[in-house]
Amino acid sequence: MRDTQPTRRDFLHVAAGLTAAGAIAPLESAGQTRPPQMNRSTVVRVASEHVVRGRYVHDNICREMLDAAMRRVAKTDSISDAWKKLLKPDDVVALKFNSSAAAALATNGEFGAAVVESLQEAGFKLEQIVAIEAPQGLYDSFDVRRPTAGWSEREHDFGSGSDRLAAVLDEVTAIVNIPFLKTHNIAGVTCCLKNLSHALVKHPARYHDNHCSPYIADIVNLPPIRDKLRLNLVNALRIVFDKGPEAYHEAIWDAGIILAGTDPVATDTVGLSIINMQREILGLASISEESDAIYLAAGERIGLGVREMRRIDQIKMRL
């Protein structure tokens, strides 16, 4: 393993073999999104060399990247129209962040502010926005709503188990999923799907056997989660490429990337490929979908999305 961080040239050299971007699949009308059971999925990937330097995030560039990702996901030139394709005007929108390792990665504040400002400009009121696991500054600066505490009265059977769900799911009508991109010592990788599964059940520790599979997929497939998930916006400004889900200084890479997609399985698959390219550069073993991140295959089997890279169109943009 190298002692130094890889250069961006190293990364681009390994990434050069990735599939070129394809056409964007049309979105369902707002409020009628369904688990992506199509033959292909699209993931938008926006990168900038200048957006992050360690714990410093250039908020203007972050907002430009978010806007670019939103326009391409929704296939529109207007940010307002992009949100309106994904959300209904009267939706109560959950922004589901990840508080694990947030202090070390130090990017949720600027990323969250960019999302809230974008929603406001599209006409959504702060009282329509519920921030889950958000940094304190987001509540202080924007006065967004805090989630309802507690759990559902009844248990939800998801096939491989049953549990009570977070009460906030009864409060919101739409979910915008905002995970980090990190390795995970049990699940292989944690990104879109795990940011929802283990955070929204009362007893997450029960669901770690067999690399968290099929629990991750089965929990996200519950209608109170699946039917409300409208968009995944991955905060990959700084990536944990090893020793996750905690974030150690030597295992954080300032990647400067945002991923966006309506298909959580495809978005996780692209995220895993980025982690593995970084690991290859550093001489680390790849994280395998077949033996490590096996929940991706489980997600595809039950119709949550597409995991085969040959069926994922990546739209790559650089700012």
Of 122, 129, 124, the C-alpha closest to 144 is 129
Contact status, residue 223 vs residue 248, Cβ threshold 8 Å:
no
Domain hosting residue 108, numbered range = 40-318
| 59, part of any domain | yes
In a domain, 20, yes or no: no
pLDDT one digit per residue (tens) for the chain, 319 residues: 444 444 444 444 444 433 333 333 334 444 444 444 458 999 999 999 999 999 999 999 999 999 999 999 999 999 999 999 999 999 999 999 999 999 999 999 999 999 999 999 999 999 999 999 999 999 999 999 999 999 999 999 999 999 999 999 999 999 999 999 999 999 999 999 999 999 999 999 999 999 999 999 999 999 999 999 999 999 999 999 999 999 999 999 999 999 999 999 999 999 999 999 999 999 999 999 999 999 999 999 999 999 999 999 999 999 9
Is 56 inside a domain boundary? yes
Distance, CA of 199 to CA of 244 (rounded, Å): 16
Q: Give the pTM.
A: 0.88
**Is 126 domain-assigned?**
yes
Model pLDDT for residues 208-246, shown as the tens digit of each residue:
999 999 999 999 999 999 999 999 999 999 999 999 999
Q: Is residue 273 in some structural domain? A: yes
- Is 122 contained in some domain? yes
Whether residue 18 is contained in a domain is answered as no
Which residues are CB-neighbours of 144 under 8 A, at least 6 positions away? 95, 116, 126, 129, 130, 131, 134, 138
Cis? peptide before 245, omega within 30° of 0: yes
What's the chain's Rg over C-alpha atoms? 18
Note whether residue 66 is domain-resident.
yes
Count of structural domains, the chain: 1
Specify the CATH number for the domain of residue 184: 3.40.50
Task: Give the 3-state secondary structure percentages of the chain, helix then strand then coil, rounded to 5.
Answer: 35, 20, 40
Asked if 202 and 163 touch (Cβ cutoff 8 Å), the reply is: yes
Six token digits for residue 3: 């002692």
